[in-house]
Amino acid sequence: MDSTATNALVELVRRAQKGDASAQRELVVSYQHRVAGFIYAMTGRSDYVEDLAQQVFIKMIRAVDRLEAPAQFESWLFRLARNTCIDQLRRQKLRRIFLPFGEEHENIPEPAGAVGTEELDALRHALAQLRPQDRALLALVQEGRSHAEIAETLSTSVAAVKARLHRAREHLREHYQPPHED
């Protein structure tokens, strides 16, 4: 992001922090597609996208006034998104333990080809084999986040991000089965 864009974002975040509804709306509109993509990469469920995205942005609106460095807004927002997805996946796991019979109704996987092309199915399948933390890492890289920004989002060091990213990419490649061309 260049300095003009960064300044514009900082200004927008400051207005949102003061409770300016139009600035809050602009932030939601600006980031909704990217956050939706991140959530889908994390959960692999189309039916979770809108609900979780709404939770993320509600948290954003309520907590933005406590953000001390508006320039770090994007890292902060994706940290909210990551935590929201991980909470959801944990709840899902607990439900599976306590309500084993609900599993078949609650966790119906999206059938191959139901959501898009074979390419997308292959990516979804490969992502589903990874740990949520690794999915978050890869999704953040696709978001264009730098290693330093990812380290900040995940509250870890740049070296740890590089090592984990290397392993996550290896795992993704292991499970990625590209579709046939014919």
Contact by Cβ (8 Å): 88, 48: yes
> Is residue 53 close enough to count as binding other proteins by CB under 8 A?
yes
Q: Which stretch binds other proteins (CB under 8 A): 25-33, 74-82, 93-101, 156-164?
A: 25-33
> From the list 7, 107, 117, 146, which residue makes contact with other proteins (rule: CB under 8 A)?
117
Of positions 102, 109, 113, 116, contacts other proteins by CB under 8 A: 116
Q: List Cβ<8 Å contacts ≥24 apart for 122-131.
A: 122/176, 122/177, 122/178, 122/179, 123/176, 124/44, 125/175, 125/176, 125/177, 126/172, 126/175, 126/176, 126/177, 127/41, 127/44, 127/172, 128/44, 129/171, 129/175, 130/168, 130/171, 130/172, 130/175
Q: Does residue 12 interact with other proteins by CB under 8 A?
A: no
Q: Where are the beta strands (DSSP E) in the chain?
A: none
Shortest Cβ 59–other proteins spacing (Å): 9
Query: Looking at beta carbons only, is 146 or 157 nearer to other proteins?
Result: 146
The binding site for other proteins (CB under 8 A) comprises: 21, 24-25, 28-29, 32-34, 36-41, 46-47, 49-50, 53-54, 57-58, 61-62, 115-117, 119-120, 122-124, 126, 142, 169, 172-173, 176-178, 180-182
